[in-house]
Amino acid sequence: MSTFVVLGAQWGDEGKGKMTDFLAESVDLVVRFQGGNNAGHTVVVGESKYMLHLIPSGILYDDKLNILGNGTVIDPEALFKEINYLENLGISVTPEKLLISDRAQVIMPYHRLMDNLSEKSRTDSIGTTGKGIGPSYTDKAERSGIRMCDLIKPVVFKRKLAENIKIKNELLVKIYNAEPLDFDEIYKEYSAYAEKLIPFVQDTSVRLYDEIKAGKKVLFEGAQGMLLDIDYGTYPFVTSSNTIAGGVCTGTGIGPTMVNGAVGVAKAYTTRVGEGPFPTELTDATGDWIREKGGEVGVTTGRDRRCGWLDLVILKTSARVSGLTNLVVTKIDTLAGLDKIEVCVGYKFNNKVIDYFPASLEDLAECEPVYETFDGWGEEAAIAKTYDELPKNAQIYLERIAEFTGVEVSIVSVGPKRDQTIVVNEI
């Protein structure tokens, strides 16, 4: 495939950062199409570990062009912190390696503030990262957002910021009983960011179109996961953008005929961070064991991830809504050592078994997972270099995933490093 999307097939944290890094070696461009610095990608290269939040994983290669598309929301303060972090580790981040869409929305200080205030005011907490993602997308939909093309034009930025500060201060003072924001302070700070951003900002839709037409290979990098999609996730416990493959077109400015495939990344079990339903969650010693062995702590939030058995209903739903052409299964090594492993193959709901994820959380609460039991495998899974070297029981497990979802398992990850990756079928 010359252009394809890599996305999370569960609730995020599936190992997309590693797989994007691994697959990026054979492409020319890596493009983020949604989300902001609420994402967390961990990439291990040799003995070095890189923690990415906003910048595409392809930045670790010197010869890749990375793009933040119009579907992203960008906090300039967080962006430059990440750039400084990478440059201190010897990774250059220049306009030759990173471009930002002039249509991308800017996260402002009032977005972060209102994110935290609105979360505290909710009866049922959603568990947001508090980084201003939701309020930024709200302003985008409400048509009062500030885009990159506005930020880098001083006169336009000053006018739009003044309008927004006036409205936001009314809300902050009268609704949230908070202190008002200072226009001059924010204008000065963000004008300085604008000067630094100018070389990075351009119409990336045009650039991307031209690159694809020239035969360049493109990897579209998703953030979060399918079940955090604003339309198809466990609403309202979701993010504020479209995390499914369809988000590529609206988030980068290219047509659907330009995307050749969709690669879904899934753990060999299931995790999620934050609030919301989780049908196969394990709240017992087994869940704690998986969490500890798998190092299940959120890269961005620092919160422990909730852990549970693999849910094939989720993966089948991901395959349907994103048109998955390939699956990547990560952390098969984490389950090594368990005698028996359960896999959810349906939900018992209204006296019948369904194989799709219901929209209503009330309906989902009534769903009872239907499990199949598999024999476990040993620690030798972590040293396998080929599919045939994987324990037989692990192969049976993987074959069941492919059979149930109707999508071939093309890559299996047995550890965090690049060389701990088994290619079953070339993508």
Model confidence at 119, in pLDDT bands (50, 70, 90)? confident
The CATH number, out of the four listed (3.40.50.300, 3.30.300.30, 3.40.440.10, 1.10.150.20), of the domain defined by the range 3-100+200-262: 3.40.440.10
**Residue 1 predicted with pLDDT over 70:** no
Q: Is 374:341 a contact under the CB 8 Å cutoff?
A: yes
- Per annotation, catalytic residue among 21, 28, 41, 229: 41
User: Which of 313, 315, 317 lies closest to 367 in space, CA to CA?
Assistant: 313
Give the pairing type, strands 352-354 and 409-413.
Answer: unpaired
- pLDDT tens figures, 129-166: 889 999 999 999 999 999 999 999 999 999 999 999 99
Predicted local confidence at residue 131, as pLDDT: 92
Model confidence at 300, in pLDDT bands (50, 70, 90)? low
Predicted local confidence at residue 299, as pLDDT: 66
Highest average pLDDT, of 68-82, 269-283, 292-306, comes from 68-82
Predicted local confidence at residue 125, as pLDDT: 74
Q: Is 241:407 a contact under the CB 8 Å cutoff?
A: no
Dist. CA 315–CA 357, nearest whole Å: 10
Query: Do 3-100+200-262 and 266-423 fold alike per CATH?
Result: no
Mean pLDDT of 51-66: 94
Q: How many residues does the chain have?
A: 427
Confirm whether 41 is a catalytic residue. Answer: yes
pLDDT-above-90 percentage for the chain: 85
Beta-bridged to residue 326, according to DSSP, are 263
At 136, give phi and psi (nearest 5°): -65, -45
The residue with greater pLDDT, 352 or 47, is 352
**Residue 259 predicted with pLDDT over 90:** yes
Confirm whether 13 is a catalytic residue. Answer: yes
Write b or e for each residue in 259-293: b if 16 or more Cβ atoms lie within 10 A of its Cβ, otherwise e. Answer: bebbbbbbbbbbbbbbbbebbbbbeeebbebbbeb
Dist. CA 137–CA 141, nearest whole Å: 6
Beta-bridged to residue 265, according to DSSP, are 8, 328
Mean pLDDT of 51-71: 95
Q: Is 235 exposed, middle or buried (0-12, 13-18, 19+ CB in 10 A)?
A: middle
**Using alpha carbons only, what angle is made at residue 124 by residues 119 and 128, rounded to the nearest 5 degrees?**
40
Topology at the third CATH level for domain 266-423:
Adenylosuccinate Synthetase; Chain A, domain 3 (3.90.170)
For 194-293, strand residue ranges (E) read 201-202, 218-221, 261-267, 270-272
Query: Which of 293-297, 338-342, 387-391 bottoms out in mean pLDDT, i.e. has the lowest?
Result: 293-297
Q: Is 11:227 a contact under the CB 8 Å cutoff?
A: yes
- pLDDT tens figures, 11-41: 988 988 889 889 999 999 999 999 999 877 7
Model confidence at 80, in pLDDT bands (50, 70, 90)? very high
- pLDDT tens figures, 376-423: 999 999 999 999 999 999 999 999 999 999 999 999 999 988 889 999
- Residue 23 has, within 13 A of its CA and on its CB side, a CA count of 36
Question: What is the average pLDDT value for the chain, to the nearest integer?
Answer: 94
Mean pLDDT of 354-363: 93
pLDDT-above-70 percentage for the chain: 99
Predicted local confidence at residue 111, as pLDDT: 96
CATH number of 105-197: 1.10.300.10
Dist. CA 336–CA 185, nearest whole Å: 54
Predicted local confidence at residue 417, as pLDDT: 87
> What is the domain partition of the chain in residue ranges?
3-100+200-262, 105-197, 266-423
pTM: 0.93
